[in-house]
Amino acid sequence: MTREILIAPSILAADFARLGEEIAAIDAAGADWIHCDVMDGHFVPNISYGADVIKAIRPLTKKMFDVHLMIAPADPYLEAFAKAGADVITVHAEAGVHLDRSLQAIRALGKKAGVSLCPATSESAIEYVLDRLDLVLVMTVNPGFGGQSFLESQLEKIRRIRSMIGDRPIRLEVDGGITRDNAAAVAAAGADTLVAGSAVFRGKSSADYAANIAAIRVAAEAGRVPKLQDISGRPARLGETALIR
């Protein structure tokens, strides 16, 4: 299934002292979703912000709030994030032992359910919950910090998950180290939703952010153009741009 590319700026890279203005700026700059990274200093070695901050910024944009919970346990907090205005709530497969139950709880709250996989986690972790999912998030860095380098090892996992998804209406999101230089490769592997923090919040103005978002989007769209490697079966390599038939 070919779905439009969505760009989800991570506000972890925003200027927190001007968070409201930063939300308005990425909204005007063409962000599709707003990606919110929640870190607990336990599941990941960093603490970011919680449901109260999400609730405070929720009225500032109509865009979808894509809430990435890097917390363990997650279940006791799902309702708080739903009430704060999350549209998609993503939990980590590694954060609890009852993933199926967590996903049911998210949908019972009326929200879209996502699961995220750390770089070392196999795609087999989601094999038996595919029908409970609206989104799969492949971490392309180890979660906890913005500004890290993209892990090329994840391209094969993205390809495998794209094939597992089949015709299901599940978004395949990538998160971590995404730039205009690797957007084509992740899109070619099957990603349709790209999170980017530092690559979007570079520069100062909404115009800078718009140029950054557009560059990532154009590269990702180009990566989806039918390519010679589709015929030969050779997998896309990092940075490879479209080779049109």
Q: Pick from 19, 47, 52: which is nearest to 34 by CA?
A: 19
Could you tell me if 201 and 9 are in contact, meaning their C-beta atoms sit under 8 angstroms apart?
A: yes
Active site residue 37: yes
Q: In this chain, which of 50, 114, 144, 223 binds ligand DX5, going by CB under 6 A?
A: 144
What letters, b where the CB count within 10 A reaches 16 and e where it falls short, cover 107-145? Answer: eeeebbbbbbbbeebebeebeebeebbbbbbbbbbebbb
- Nearest residue (beta carbon) to ligand DX5: 197
223 touches ligand DX5 (CB under 6 A): no
Tokens of 96: 């609890």
The alpha carbon dihedral of 138, 142, 147, 153 has a sign of: negative
Q: Cα–Cα distance between 110 and 132 in angstroms, integer?
A: 13
Size of the site for Zn ion (CB under 5 A): 3
Size of the site for ligand DX5 (CB under 6 A): 21
Number of other residues whose CB lies within 10 A of the CB of residue 79: 14
Q: In this chain, which of 95, 135, 196, 216 binds ligand DX5, going by CB under 6 A?
A: 196
Q: Cα–Cα distance between 75 and 97 in angstroms, integer?
A: 11
198 touches ligand DX5 (CB under 6 A): yes
Binding mask 36-55 for Zn ion (x = CB under 5 A): -x------------------
Q: In this chain, which of 29, 106, 199, 220 binds ligand DX5, going by CB under 6 A?
A: 199
212 touches ligand DX5 (CB under 6 A): no
Q: In this chain, which of 37, 40, 123, 134 binds ligand DX5, going by CB under 6 A?
A: 37
Shortest distance in whole angstroms from residue 195 CB to Zn ion: 5
Interface residue list for ligand DX5 (CB under 6 A): 10, 12-13, 35, 37, 68, 141, 143-144, 146-148, 175-178, 195-199
The residues annotated as belonging to the active site are 37, 175
